[in-house]
Amino acid sequence: MRLRLALIFAWTTVSCFVVVSAVFAVSVLPALLFYRWHLELAIRPETVRLLLLAAAFIPAYALFAVVYMTLSAWSCNLLGWRPPDRADLVIAELSRPLRNWARYAIMGHLVRVLAGTFFRSTPVWVWYMRRNGARVGRHVWINSLQVGDECLLDIGDEVVIGSGVHLSGHTVERGMVRLAPIVLGSGTVVGVGSQVGIGVTTGVGTQIGALSVVPKHETLEAGRVYAGIPARPVDRRVAAEPVPEVESAEHHLRDLVEPEIPTVFLVPGIDGTAELFYRQIPVLAKRFNVVAFPLPNKRMASLDDLVSDFAQLIRETSPGPVILCGESFGGALSLSLGLQHPELVRALVIVNSFPYLDNRVQLALAPRLTRLIPWVAMPFIRRFTEHRIHSAHTLDEDLAEFRARMRGVERDGYVRRLELLRDYDIRSQLGRLTMPVLLVAGTDDRLVPSARWARYMGDRIPNATVMFLEGYGHCCLINHDLDLSVIIDDWLDL
């Protein structure tokens, strides 16, 4: 056992050293070439030449720093050196998640040492944090080099983090590394020299006074001022800009729902926007209450988090069990909710979905490659993959509508949903689904073997009906000749 742990430690150290050395070497090269070019300039008098060489140090260093930040973040993404969102990792076990966190932390520390002093408090530093996994809003000001574990940070718009603030997603306790995300709501101000523990969430407009300590897993109210050790409210509630909360939207929706009419919840696919239901919502609304559930773009959201949010939305908006209609990833989420909260589900309509995906290599590579691809290039990439997504008879106007609506997809949420599919597997639990389940699959689905999975699930779910859509592809709900309301009405005999 000791030999095995020694070998694991040695491999972790060597692999990190090799990557760090390679990243450093490639980053130094452009700066060296830039400086050598200055050395070779034939300038007279010699004094002017020496002054030019001296002045070249700063731009050469800046060039090195920018390249080093870029390659460091890119290497961590490519190699999967990212910590899990929430975990308690025993140090003595040297588990893979712990090793990935350690290498990620080392890479980030070296960036702070070699480049952070030059670029902190600038948009370049915020840009690096985004590249290294942080979800950061607009107009954010970060003036501290003690902000780490970027991929565990969710920072809203117009947040200010003062000098010397210690804020990271890990702590070491009793032989364990504990990891949890930190969420700073829009307008949060963290004062100079403060410490923010793991798992902390702040509301909109929260202020944390200088030299304060916020204990781990605390939730700070919106629009309030906190200070002290530990940080406690020191004011009466201050005015904050009104921000639309989910709860207010939920009560508004509940007021619109007619209790005597069945409610259909539409759950989108990997895009998460719910905007691709544009053809189905008008026809469904003639027979049902219709609620669409856009998926949150949280970098750290787990599948259980999505299920919990979804269940809460159903409770707040519907007086009784609802019909869930999930497409692709939305079908996986709907099946998961049906397993965890069967009392909320009247029936399930699962369109081109699956209980598990067996393309393991593709699933492992997809999130990393998607992070490396410039997001502005995604519309062009989708053009080349449309034959795998759409039905052969999809109208040109619907293809154009699909392209336009997909421009609103956010990278972080999209990648996170790809990551969630790596651990998604409910095959052994299908027999627990007791509500009526309609499994709809396009026979020409080239993206997912949905017809095969529909048969598989139909054989294992007690009250399942399988329906094949001849000639339809994966993204079939945008087709002009598909009416989901008729399918549901005929199936449930409403």
| Side chain identity, residue 146 | Q
pLDDT of res. 261 = 85
Pick the CATH number of 246-492 from 3.40.640.10, 3.40.50.1820, 3.40.50.300, 3.90.1530.30: 3.40.50.1820
- Intervals of the chain under pLDDT 50: 236-256
SS3 letters for the chain? CHHHHHHHHHHHHHHHHHHHHHHHHHHHHHHHHHHHHHHCCCCCCHHHHHHHHHHHHHHHHHHHHHHHHHHHHHHHHHHCCCCCCCEEEEHHHCCHHHHHHHHHHHHHHHHHHHHHHHHCCCHHHHHHHHHCCCEECCCCEECCCCECCHHHEEECCCCEECCCCEECCEEEECCEEEECCEEECCCCEECCCCEECCCCEECCCCEECCCCEECCCCEECCCCEEECCCCEECCCCCCCCCCCCHHHHHHHHHHHCCCCCCEEEEECCCCCCCHHHCCHHHHHCCCCEEEECCCCCCCCCCHHHHHHHHHHHHHHHCCCCEEEEEECHHHHHHHHHHHHCHHHEEEEEEECCCCECCCHHHHHHHHHHHHHCCHHHHHHHHHHHHHHHCCCCCCHHHHHHHHHHHCCCCHHHHHHHHHHHHCCECHHHHHHCCCCEEEEEECCCCCCCHHHHHHHHHCCCCCEEEEEECCCCCCCCCCCCCCHHHHHHHHHCC
CA distance 358 to 449: 10
pLDDT of res. 398 = 92
Bond from prior residue into 319 cis (ω within 30 degrees of 0): no
CA distance 423 to 431: 20
pLDDT of res. 466 = 96
Of 31, 197, 13, 198, which is closest to residue 114 (Cα–Cα)?
31
Residue 448, C-beta contacts closer than 8 angstroms, at least 6 positions apart: 328, 352, 353, 354, 357, 474
Instruction: Give the tens place of pLDDT for each residue, 374-432.
Output: 887 888 888 888 888 999 999 999 999 999 899 888 888 899 999 999 999 999 999 99
pLDDT of res. 424 = 95
CA dist list (Å): 311 to 177, 322, 327:
31, 11, 17
* Domains of the chain, residue spans: 1-119, 135-239, 246-492
**Fold (topology level) of 135-239:** UDP N-Acetylglucosamine Acyltransferase; domain 1 (2.160.10)
For residue 355, give both structure tokens.
């209980």
CA distance 295 to 317: 16
**CA 15, 16, 20: angle at the middle one, nearest 5?**
120
pLDDT of res. 259 = 66
pLDDT of res. 235 = 58
pLDDT of res. 190 = 94
pLDDT of res. 258 = 64
Place of tokens 């003036």: 143
pLDDT of res. 242 = 40
CA distance 361 to 1: 30
CA distance 124 to 321: 49
pTM of the shown model: 0.58
Place of tokens 């759409």: 390
